[in-house]
Amino acid sequence: MKLTFLGTGTSFGVPQLGCSCAVCHSPDPRDRRTRVGALVRTDTGSNILIDTPPELRLQLIQAGVDDIAAVLFTHDHADHTHGIDDVRAISARRDTHLPMYGSARTFESLEQKFSYIFDDNIRPLPGTLKPQGRAHVVAPGEIFLAGGVHVTAVPVPHGSITVFGYRIGPLAYITDAKSIPDDAMALLRGARVLVINALFRRPHPTHLSVPEAIEVAREVGAERTYLTHLTHDNFHAELAAELPEGISPAFDGLTVEL
């Protein structure tokens, strides 16, 4: 199994529009962060996409990916979903709709904002195409089959809503979490690679901070932990130097073999 970080930035991205800080003008390519998303290449050769961030087309081109077997949505926020139209180039080459998985709340929102994707009664004009997705609602803690592998939906709090992290074999992928409740922690333990969000060094009302993410990593006990959903508060090199052994900041384009 292989994990590729398509994007590792917060909702603003890095560089942030209109910002003159040193990180936003850094020459280190690892400090340029598009909105957060990831790709899992399974042992059977299937590509599973986690979220559809706004830069999805560019991210997939950069990663050399032109085929997706399934999409997993963590939640419905714009920085995780508003690149959904870019799957049109993928679904157009399929004989069936592209399967998409997420919570009931996520699909209630997506079907309202992007009804043309999910409603088969909305047909494109002759000579045109539309993205075609098939929504599969999964319950918190449910184990389901996507892209030929078993996936577990891990519910975690994100402000006033619950978002899904995902456990895929040895990989645990959590983004936009504020904390990891005991039932979620039980689903994460035993993972060899953990991906966890870490927004600022200071506390935040809806996201884990860097110190909080480190504590989660210690409790999960994975061999390797990668921090994602990072802001322009962090130079990659400086953050990497201060993190404990076994914990690293992710960056766009990083590929991890599991």
Q: What is the pLDDT of residues 22-64, one digit of tens each?
A: 999 999 999 999 999 999 999 999 999 999 999 999 999 999 9
Mean pLDDT, residues 201-224 = 95
pLDDT of 127 reads 87
* Nearest Cα residue to 176 out of 109, 243, 79: 79
Burial of 18 (0-12, 13-18, 19+ CB in 10 A): exposed
Mean pLDDT computed over every residue of the chain: 96
Q: Is 254's pLDDT higher than 90?
A: yes
Fold of 2-257: Metallo-beta-lactamase; Chain A (3.60.15)
Mark residue 86 as left, alpha or beta (left: phi above 0; alpha: psi -120 to 50; beta: remaining).
alpha
CB 255, CB 2: distance < 8 Å: yes
Locate all alpha helices (DSSP H) within 130-257, ordered by sequence.
Answer: 182-188, 210-220, 236-242
Question: What is the per-residue pLDDT across 143-194, written as a single tens digit (0 to 9) for each?
Answer: 999 999 999 999 999 999 999 999 999 999 999 999 999 999 999 999 999 9
Percent of the chain having pLDDT more than 90? 93
pLDDT tens string 63-93: 999 999 999 999 999 999 999 999 999 999 8
Average pLDDT of the segment spanning 1-30: 97
- Residue 217 DSSP SS3: helix
pLDDT single digits (tens) 97-129: 999 999 999 999 999 999 999 999 999 888 888
Is the pLDDT score of 95 beyond 90? Answer: no
pTM: 0.96
Q: What is the pLDDT of residue 26?
A: 98
Q: How many CB atoms lie within 10 A of CB 112?
A: 10
| Rounded distance between C-alpha atoms, residue 230 and residue 13, angstroms | 9
Whole-angstrom Cα distance, residue 252 to residue 14? 11
Strands (E), 8-126: 37-41, 47-50, 70-72, 98-102
Structure-model confidence comparison of residues 142 and 125, the more confident one:
142
Q: Which of 8, 2, 11, 1 is nearest to 206 (CA)?
A: 11
Q: Where are the domains of the chain?
A: 2-257
